[in-house]
Structure 1
Amino acid sequence: MSQMLALVIVIFVLLVGDFVAVRTKAWIPSMFVAGILFLIGYWTFFPKEIVAIAGVPSVVAVMMMYLLITNMGTLLSLQELKNQWKTIIIAFSGIFGIVAALLGIGSLIFGLQTMIVAIPPLVGGIVSALIMSEGAQAAGLTTLSVFAIVIYVMQGFAGYPLTALVLKKEGRRLLDMYRQGNLTSAQEEIAAAAEVMPAMEPKLFKNMPEKYNTDFFKFFRLTLVAFLAYQVSALLAPIVNISPFVLCLLFGVIATSIGFLEKQVLQKANGFGIAILVLMLFIFDGLKQATPEMLMSIILPLIGTVIIGVAGMYVFSYIAGKILKVSKEMAFAVSLTALYGFPADYIITNEVINSLTEDEKEREALTSHMLPPMLVGGFITVTIVSVILAGIFVQFL
């Protein structure tokens, strides 16, 4: 298969996902549709390396991940992170619910070892899945080694539609409040801040003529901040293992706060669309490992693990939301980010918002209320907690 044919095919799959999401008003998220189509493709005529053939090897995807996560940091101010303390507590509560449900109920049904392998990938990303897969392989547990990868590549199929469902309910509630003028003052301030975000420019370069603030200058500053995050992570590695992606988010926030980066710098450099495209293809590339035989051999523990884990997540996030006075829909949506993380949390939230209203001010109000907790929740669950859990759980294999 030629590179251009492979590129046309994989982009067409993403396009079909978009069309279905628009047609169904995000009841069926694009990520879910594209995931199903990629799975069918790998089982039929797709080359296993179709994404790499199309020009997106893993090294390119990782580069885009650094840029995208740093760019996401520009959406959040230091004050906004403080404002999201409830989100952090809810995210931890959801993860605790998964762990409690699977170690308690799941281990009785499917065995303790199976649940030990399943938990970190279920609440995390590829890093935690690989840690558990390699740990199981080293312990001679070949089936569980495969199970860890399949949990990772399949968990989104539960998370995508559930998230779209609860976010649409939350979005409608907020729209009613907005249209009746009943949003709290804190939400109105956030909406006002979001409204002026595109106009804000980096303070450190305010005296520089605009003609010199080229796309390449924006890219240079963004990559420099991402590099510093990576470097700090490497320097801290002997003392404490902090993911460079976590630091990218933090450094993006700091760089924007001090005026080194503008808000949404990747969009302003005209690079956001291609970066999302690359990262989405990288995510679906993981489905090539899920063969029909593999899925059939572990289908019952897979379904059972997801159902029990999500049920535990809902119960604990509901309780946390009640205590913190956060709607059960928003609390559950934040916890569900553990099943997919970034960029799916960003994409699904925006799809839902766009499906609810065409008024720009209403979209900005919804975005300011729904997107920050979804982003923060995704980073807390997938990027931070899951890796820590994997490091602990792998020692029990």
Structure 2
Amino acid sequence: MPQMLALVLLLVILYLGDIVSIRTKAWVPSVFICAVLFLLGYWTFFPTDIVARAGVPTVVAVMFMYLLIVNMGTLLSVKELLLQWKTILISLAGIVGIIIVAIIVGYLLFDFNTVVVAIPPLVGGIVSAIIMANGAKDAGLPDLAVFAIIIYVMQGFIGYPLTSIMLKREGRKVLKQYHAGTWHVSDDHKSSIDKQQAISSDENPMPRLFAKIPSSYNSSYFIFLRIAIIGFLAYFVSEVLKPIVSVSPFVLCLLFGVIAASFGFLERHPLKKAGGFGITVMGLMLFIFDTLSRATPEMLMRLLTPLVIFILSAVVGMFIFSIIVGKILKVSKELAFSIALTALYGFPADYIITNEVINNLTKDPKEKEILTSHMLPPMLIGGFISVTIVSVVLAGIMVNMIVGPASAVQ
């Protein structure tokens, strides 16, 4: 398949996902449609390396991940994290719910290794899934290696539409209160609105550390250079820490992005200002869907029962625990459940779904601003807490708990 044909096919899929989302007013998220179409493509005429053929091999996708996660770090701040402490507690409660219910149900129906391999991918994204898949493969458990990837691939099929439904209900409630004049913007929402206004500003001044340099020198290349430096520092520190503790460079990218923006080394949302945000999100989305090439119909049928049971257990667990903690913290059940659901997909799906819902609920700029400030920060932070941080830590611990066939015999 020629490179440009592969690229055209993939972009057709991404665009069809957008069309369906727009036509259904985000009841059917674009990422769900794209995942279905990718599966059908792989099961029919797509070459398994179609994403690499289109120009996004793994090495390019990893570069996009470094750039995007540093960029997302610049959208956060220590103050924002402190303001979003309720989000962090709800996200952690959802994770606890996943672990407890999955362990109880798993031990009743499946063996120890299946439970251990299933939990980290349920809590997080591709990094934890790959860690567990490699651990199972090294332990001589090929089926469980596939199972880890399949869980990651398939759990979004429940997470995407559920999140869309919950966020639409939350958005309608907020708009109803706004129209009735009873919606009051809290301090954390005001902070988010101010940040969104700063980010959307057309001005492109130099960051604080480079204030003495004329702003005309702040070219796209200079912005990309500074993002890449932060990404390299994250990688370097991760490698230096390896003999002591294993820390994902992507976790450090997020942390260093927050620090770089706080100290004035990077501006807020630098990828957008450099004109590279759209193509990097596209590349990362293609990389995520590329994992579907491993999900053959035979594998899905063989792993269908444990797959469905574990995903449903995770949803039930996060629903119960997030609703309880949300009620204690006076956060609506719709928003609390949505925050917990980010564990099933993380970034960039949480960003995309939230924006889809907002754009389909209203076209008014002021209403969009209110909905964005209310829903986007907790959705992003919830996804970062579960997928980017907790799931990687969990995977690092639980991969050592896998018992290989030889060990089991002994």
**Does structure 1 residue 231 correspond to structure 2 residue 236?**
yes
Match of 2:190 among 188, 191, 207: 188
The size of the alignment, in residue pairs, is 397
Rounded Cα–Cα distance in structure 2 between residues aligned with 1:282 and 1:20: 21
Please give the per-residue CA displacement for 1:335-392, whole angstroms capped at 9, x wherever unaligned: 1111111111111111111111111222122212211111111111112211222222
Summarize the Cα distance change of 1:196–1:133 in structure 2 as closer, same or farther, 3 Å threshold.
closer
Summarize the Cα distance change of 1:392–1:193 in structure 2 as closer, same or farther, 3 Å threshold.
closer
Summarize the Cα distance change of 1:345–1:329 in structure 2 as closer, same or farther, 3 Å threshold.
same
Which sits farther off after the overlay, 43-52 or 144-153? 144-153
Rounded Cα–Cα distance in structure 2 between residues aligned with 1:54 and 1:338: 29
Contact 2:246 2:396 (8 Å CA) reproduced: no
Which sits farther off after the overlay, 143-152 or 263-272? 143-152
Question: Equivalent residue for 2:200?
Answer: 198
Rounded Cα–Cα distance in structure 2 between residues aligned with 1:112 and 1:328: 33
Contact 2:124 2:343 (8 Å CA) reproduced: yes
Please give the per-residue CA displacement for 1:112-154, whole angstroms capped at 9, x wherever unaligned: 3322211111111222212222222333333222211111111
Question: Equivalent residue for 2:278?
Answer: 273
Contact 2:117 2:148 (8 Å CA) reproduced: yes
Rounded Cα–Cα distance in structure 2 between residues aligned with 1:88 and 1:185: 18
Contact 2:192 2:377 (8 Å CA) reproduced: no
Contact 1:103 1:112 (8 Å CA) reproduced: no
2:184 maps to a residue whose letter is L
Rounded Cα–Cα distance in structure 2 between residues aligned with 1:223 and 1:396: 35
Question: Equivalent residue for 2:371?
Answer: 366
Contact 2:94 2:318 (8 Å CA) reproduced: yes
Contact 1:164 1:349 (8 Å CA) reproduced: yes
Which sits farther off after the overlay, 47-56 or 191-200? 191-200
**Does structure 1 residue 150 correspond to structure 2 residue 142?**
no
Question: Equivalent residue for 2:268?
Answer: 263
Q: How big is the shift at 1:181? A: 5.0
Please give the per-residue CA displacement for 1:153-179, whole angstroms capped at 9, x wherever unaligned: 111111111111111111122223333
Which sits farther off after the overlay, 171-180 or 348-357? 171-180
**Does structure 1 residue 214 correspond to structure 2 residue 215?**
no
Contact 1:107 1:114 (8 Å CA) reproduced: no
SS at match of 1:341: coil
TM-score normalized by the length of structure 1: 0.96
Please give the per-residue CA displacement for 1:297-323, whole angstroms capped at 9, x wherever unaligned: 111111111111110110011111111
Rounded Cα–Cα distance in structure 1 between residues aligned with 2:101 and 2:252: 31
2:41 maps to a residue whose letter is G
Rounded Cα–Cα distance in structure 2 between residues aligned with 1:198 and 1:166: 27
SS at match of 2:46: coil
Match of 1:350 among 350, 355, 369: 355
1:374 maps to a residue whose letter is M
SS at match of 1:354: helix
SS at match of 1:155: helix
Cα RMSD over matched residues?
1.6
2:198 maps to a residue whose letter is V
Which sits farther off after the overlay, 107-116 or 277-286? 107-116
Rounded Cα–Cα distance in structure 1 between residues aligned with 2:401 and 2:226: 43
Runs of 4+ in 1 over 6 A off after TM superposition: none
Match of 1:320 among 312, 325, 328: 325
Rounded Cα–Cα distance in structure 1 between residues aligned with 2:53 and 2:23: 31
Rounded Cα–Cα distance in structure 1 between residues aligned with 2:126 and 2:254: 18
Question: Equivalent residue for 1:83?
Answer: 83
Summarize the Cα distance change of 1:361–1:230 in structure 2 as closer, same or farther, 3 Å threshold.
farther
SS at match of 1:280: helix
Which sits farther off after the overlay, 214-223 or 228-237? 228-237
Rounded Cα–Cα distance in structure 2 between residues aligned with 1:29 and 1:291: 23
Summarize the Cα distance change of 1:2–1:95 in structure 2 as closer, same or farther, 3 Å threshold.
same
Please give the per-residue CA displacement for 1:68-122, whole angstroms capped at 9, x wherever unaligned: 1111112112210111211111111111101110111232123333222111111
SS at match of 1:28: coil
Contact 2:123 2:386 (8 Å CA) reproduced: yes
Contact 2:72 2:254 (8 Å CA) reproduced: yes
Q: How big is the shift at 1:184? A: 3.5
Please give the per-residue CA displacement for 1:248-302, whole angstroms capped at 9, x wherever unaligned: 1122122212222111110111100100110000000000000000001111111
SS at match of 2:346: coil
Rounded Cα–Cα distance in structure 2 between residues aligned with 1:136 and 1:250: 30
Which sits farther off after the overlay, 196-205 or 365-374? 196-205
Summarize the Cα distance change of 1:211–1:391 in structure 2 as closer, same or farther, 3 Å threshold.
closer
**1:59-70 alignment runs, 5 A limit:** 59-70=59-70
Rounded Cα–Cα distance in structure 1 between residues aligned with 2:338 and 2:8: 33
Question: Equivalent residue for 2:408?
Answer: none
Rounded Cα–Cα distance in structure 1 between residues aligned with 2:309 and 2:368: 37
Rounded Cα–Cα distance in structure 2 between residues aligned with 1:294 and 1:153: 12
Question: Equivalent residue for 2:119?
Answer: 119
Rounded Cα–Cα distance in structure 1 between residues aligned with 2:325 and 2:77: 25
Question: Equivalent residue for 2:307?
Answer: 302
**Does structure 1 residue 21 correspond to structure 2 residue 21?**
yes
SS at match of 2:59: helix
